[in-house]
Amino acid sequence: MIKIAPSILAANFAKLGEEVKEVEQAGAEVIHIDVMDGHFVPNITMGPIVVEALRPVTKLPLDVHLMIENPDDYIEQFAKAGADWISVHVEACRHLHRTIQLIRSFGVKPGVVLNPHTPIESIQHILEDIDFVLFMTVNPGFGGQKFIHSVVPKIENLSKIIKERGLSIDIEIDGGINAETIIPCAKAGANIFVAGSAIYNKENRAEALKEILHAGEA
C-alpha cells in the first residue's frame, strides 16, 4: 500500500490550515512537516508552534522531519505539540539509539533519515528500534530539487534486509518525488512518499496527488 505525504514546505503559509485540509480531502494519508534550523541545513522553516496550530486541523498523522542540530533538545516540544512521527538524521545524532528511545518515550513513532550519501550500514543495529526509515533523494534544505537516482539501489538493499530479518519498517522517500520518480522507488520497496512541489505547485492539487499515487501503485 502506497501512501502520499504532502510536504507543507511548498504550501502557501498564509493559509496553511486550508492547504492541509485540501490535500487531506484529496487522499493524502500523512502530512510531512520540514523543520530546519539554519545550522544542520542552510535554511530556516518552522517550529513546534506550527505543529500545534495544525494539530486540530487534520486527523492525519503529522510526520515531523527534523533537519536540526541537537534534536534531543526539541523532541519533547514537538511531541507535546502533536507530532505523531518524528524522524532524525543520522548525522545530527551523537547517540542515535538514545534519541530513538527519547522519541518513543513520548508515544511518538521514531524514524531515521539517511542523506543521499549515508550508507544503510549506519542503521543496521537499530532497525529493531525504529518504525520507519526516511531516504533523502535530494540534499536536505530546500523543496523543488532534482531527484538523485543513485539512492534507488540503497532503498532496494534496505528493503531486502528488512524482509530477511522479518521486520515491519516503513520506507519513506523524500525529495524530488513526482509521477515519474516514484516508480523506481516503489519498485525498490518504498511505501510512503513525500511530495512538496509536485503537489502544491500544481493548479489542481487533488489531480496531482492522485497521479503520483497511481503511478506508484502501478
Q: Which range in 76-84, 113-121, 166-174, 179-187 contacts Zn ion by CB under 5 A? A: 166-174
Cell of 62: 503529522
- The strand order across the sheet containing 170-174 reads 3-6, 192-195, 170-174, 132-136, 109-114, 85-89, 62-67, 31-36
Point out the residue whose Cβ comes nearest to Zn ion. Answer: 65
- 142 labelled binding-site residue: yes
- 166 labelled binding-site residue: no
Q: Which of residues 4-63 bind ligand DX5 (CB under 6 A)?
A: 7, 9-10, 32, 34
Q: Which of residues 167-206 bind ligand DX5 (CB under 6 A)?
A: 174-177, 194-198
Residue positions annotated with a catalytic role: 34, 174
Decide: helix, strand or coil at residue 6.
strand
Q: Which range in 39-47, 143-151, 165-173, 174-182 contacts Zn ion by CB under 5 A? A: 174-182
Spatial separation of the C-alpha atoms in residues 111 and 127, rounded to whole Å: 10
Instruction: Give 131's DSSP letter.
Output: S
Q: Give the contact letters, 49-68, x = binds to Zn ion (CB under 5 A), - = no.
A: ----------------x---
Q: How many residues bind Zn ion (CB under 5 A)?
A: 3
| Alpha helix (H) residue ranges in the chain | 16-25, 48-54, 75-81, 96-105, 152-164, 182-187, 197-200, 205-217
Of ligand DX5, Zn ion, none, which one does residue 144 interact with (CB within 5 to 8 Å by kind)? ligand DX5
Shortest Cβ 163–ligand DX5 spacing (Å)? 26
Query: Are 142 and 91 contacting, i.e. CB atoms less than 8 angstroms apart?
Result: no
Of Zn ion, ligand DX5, none, which one does residue 195 interact with (CB within 5 to 8 Å by kind)? ligand DX5
Cell of 156: 532496494
The footprint of Zn ion (CB under 5 A) covers 34, 65, 174
